[in-house]
Amino acid sequence: MKRVFISCDMASVALGADAVARAFVGAGCEVVRTGSRGLFSIEPLVEIETEAGRIGYGPVAPCEVEAVLDGTHRNYIGAVDEHRFFAAQKRFTFARCGIVDPLSLADYAAHRGWIGLDTARAAEPQAVVDAIRASGLRGRGGAGFPTGIKWQTVLDAPCRTKYIVCNADEGDSGTFADRMLMEGDPFCLIEGMAIAAHAVGASRGFIYIRSEYPFGIDAMRAAIELSADRVAPFELEVRVGAGAYVCGEETALLDSIEGRRGQVRAKPPLPALAGLFGKPTVINNVLSLAAVPFILSEGAQAYADVGFGRSRGTMPVQLAGNVKHGGLFEVGFGITLGELVNDIGGGTASGRPVRAVQVGGPLGAYFPPSMFDLPFDYEAFTAAGGLIGHAGITIFDDSVDMAQMARFAMEFCAAESCGKCTPCRIGSTRGVEIVDRIIAARESEPARPTANNGVLGKALYSRAPDRIDVSPSAQTTLLRDLCDTMKYGSLCALGGFTPYPVLSALDHFPEDFGAPAPALEAAE
């Protein structure tokens, strides 16, 4: 009987993987459901176990079972590991994803699972924290704060009750790495959290997952139950978010777990000292915690050997939008933006030229192709007026209207604002209005109402809205001032980062805002 591997990842299922799996069962195959390998242009991917390793076909339709089994299917890929998209990766965190049965403890153990936890538990907590520091791991949720320093703070906090909280409220559009990991290798996250618990002296953990991830929620709950004995006395629980983007902000997330309205808390106190229920709390992103087992099992040095500058290790990059080969690509820091977009992603799906890419989710900056030599690195992106964030890259072709994209950023902030701080609460709505004025003005420079001429004209309607200067240049100045207020005045990253897409659109694509296009790069 043939062993066949088919993904049960939400994206694969959306592409028809369940029906394909049923067809293979019907054909008498033993079907193993795995996570996704992460290249969606070949999903549903069917892998056949052979002497020479797993041979892949994809995409496959349910009616094509015979062709796969007899080796004649047109979408023959060959040895999956050798596929260019996978072979080019450095899979530290996603090493098992797409390969193992997510809920098989035996599979997990057979693929170097639990070695990290056993190593950690054999060591003093301080030694574990030291290993994390030595690895150079930085928070993968976006802020890039050194994970080891955060853990050290919690370890040093004098309190008997401490918590580990995993932020799995992956709300950025175009990002899906957290989901893929939870669906494809949930024990990896559990192991990472158990190691964190040992490192800081916590006995309970919470995984806060957005409600839009039902598969991830089910997988995590099942995996928690299956591994309860393995990680005991550490206890884990899944909490499901109610859909507010801001609950991805760590302090709002804590409020939400505590059963309150998710609102951003002012810091200090740091959650590391007074977090969940007022107790010292490690709060890390899924990808940060999932990187931990590798660091413990393979050594901090093995992790730190990869990377660029102060950005060490690997980053699971997510390619989305108008891109030929969308998917998850885990790679060491330092690869350039252009390599990711053009070499790995293969350019746009539409075949038109790339005009802009947004890095770091809806609050990340837009970059034009002229900046494609930018290396993937926290510091380099900051210097370029952007951010890596959760490493989602969304690609747009030349039909994109960057003023509309700026508007979208403001609109997104307005929709997701918790309403606590003023720059975000009012500023985002004003931002939408300003961009609307710019869009209106750039299309037809409005004639000033005739009533404004003459003394009476100046008096009449003097309190009317049109007394403000609605010219694109005045509105652009106002938009920049608003971005300044939001960036430096907001309480949390939602309002604070919304200016990134707006300002980068203004800087790199001024022609879309009714201003002259920038002079072409001198070099060209």
Q: Nearest-CA neighbor of 411 among 421, 424, 422, 397?
A: 424
- Nearer to another protein (CB atom), residue 246 or residue 357: 246
State which residue, 259 or 351, has the beta carbon closest to another protein. Answer: 259
- Looking at the Cβ atoms of 73 and 420, the one nearer to another protein is 420
Cβ nearer to another protein, comparing 55 with 426: 426
Q: Choose the stretch contacting another protein; rule: CB under 8 A; options: 138-146, 152-160, 409-417, 441-449.
A: 409-417
Find out whether 378 and 224 touch, Cβ atoms under 8 Å: no
Other C-beta atoms lying within 10 Å of the C-beta of residue 425:
17
Decide: is 430 part of the binding site for another protein (CB under 8 A). yes
**Residue 189 beta carbon to another protein: minimum distance, rounded to whole angstroms:** 30
Q: What is the distance of C-alpha 8 from the center of its chain?
A: 20
Q: Which stretch binds another protein (CB under 8 A): 143-151, 291-299, 397-405, 489-497?
A: 489-497
Q: Does 421 bind another protein (CB under 8 A)?
A: yes
- 491 binds another protein, rule: CB under 8 A: yes
Please identify, using beta-carbon distances, which residue of 390 and 420 lies nearer to another protein: 420
Nearest to 13 by CA among 261, 244, 179: 179
Q: What whole-number distance in Å separates Cα of residue 483 and Cα of residue 481? A: 5
Q: Does 416 bind another protein (CB under 8 A)?
A: yes
Q: How far apart are CA 195 and CA 118, in angstroms?
A: 9
| From 3, 84, 261, 448, residue interacting with another protein (rule: CB under 8 A) | 261
Cβ proximity to another protein, 53 vs 489, nearer residue: 489
Please report whether residue 362 would count as binding another protein according to CB under 8 A. no
Give CA–CA dist 345/332, Å, rounded. Answer: 16
Stretch that binds another protein, among 48-56, 75-83, 218-226, 488-496 (CB under 8 A): 488-496
Question: How far is Cα 22 from Cα 277, in angstroms, rounded to an integer?
Answer: 46
Binding-site member from 266, 383, 459, 460 for another protein (CB under 8 A): 266
Comparing CB distances to another protein, the nearer of 160 and 463 is 463
**Which residue in 155, 207, 478, 505 binds another protein (CB under 8 A)?**
478
Greatest Cα-to-Cα distance within the chain, rounded to the nearest angstrom: 93
User: Contact letters (x/-) for another protein, 187-216, by CB under 8 A?
Assistant: ------------------------------
Question: Site for another protein (CB under 8 A): which residue of 8, 244, 393, 406?
Answer: 244
Place of tokens 């499901």: 240
Q: How far is the CB of 422 from another protein (least distance, A)?
A: 5
Give the DSSP letter of residue 341. Answer: I
Structure tokens at 272: 């590391």
Residue 462 burial by CB count (10 A; 0-12/13-18/19+): exposed, middle or buried?
Answer: exposed
Q: Which of 465, 516, 520, 521 binds another protein (CB under 8 A)?
A: 465
- C-alpha–C-alpha distance, residues 330 and 111, integer Å: 18
Residue 429 touches another protein, criterion: CB under 8 A = yes
Judged by CB under 8 A, how many residues of this single chain contact another protein? 40
- Residue 382 to residues 155, 375, 510, Cα–Cα distance (Å): 30, 11, 21
Q: Say if CB 425 and CB 419 are below 8 A apart.
A: yes
Least distance in Å: CB of 212 to another protein? 17
State in angstroms the smallest separation of the CB of 246 from another protein.
Answer: 8
* Selected range binding another protein among 263-271, 321-329, 384-392, 453-461, rule: CB under 8 A: 263-271
CA atoms within 13 A on the CB side of 219: 29
CA angle 68, 73, 76 (to 5 degrees): 95
Residue with tokens 């950690």: 120
Quick one: which segment of 144-152, 220-228, 420-428, 438-446 binds another protein (CB under 8 A)? 420-428
| 267 lines the binding site for another protein (CB under 8 A) | yes
Q: Which of 18, 101, 218, 433 touches another protein by CB under 8 A?
A: 433
Secondary structure class of 332 (helix, strand, coil): strand
CB of 424 to another protein, least distance (A): 8
Any contact of residue 427 with another protein (CB under 8 A)? yes
Residue among 237, 168, 153 at smallest CA distance from 201: 153
CB 364 within 8 A of CB 496: no
Q: Residue 202 in contact with residue 241, Cβ under 8 Å?
A: no
251 near another protein (CB under 8 A): no
Question: Can residue 476 be called a binding residue for another protein (CB under 8 A)?
Answer: no
115, exposed or middle or buried, with CB in 10 Å at 0-12, 13-18, 19+? middle
Contact between residue 327 and residue 40 where contact means Cβ atoms under 8 Å apart: yes
Interface residues with another protein (CB under 8 A) are: 244, 261, 266-268, 414-430, 433-434, 463, 465-469, 474, 478, 481-482, 484-485, 488-491
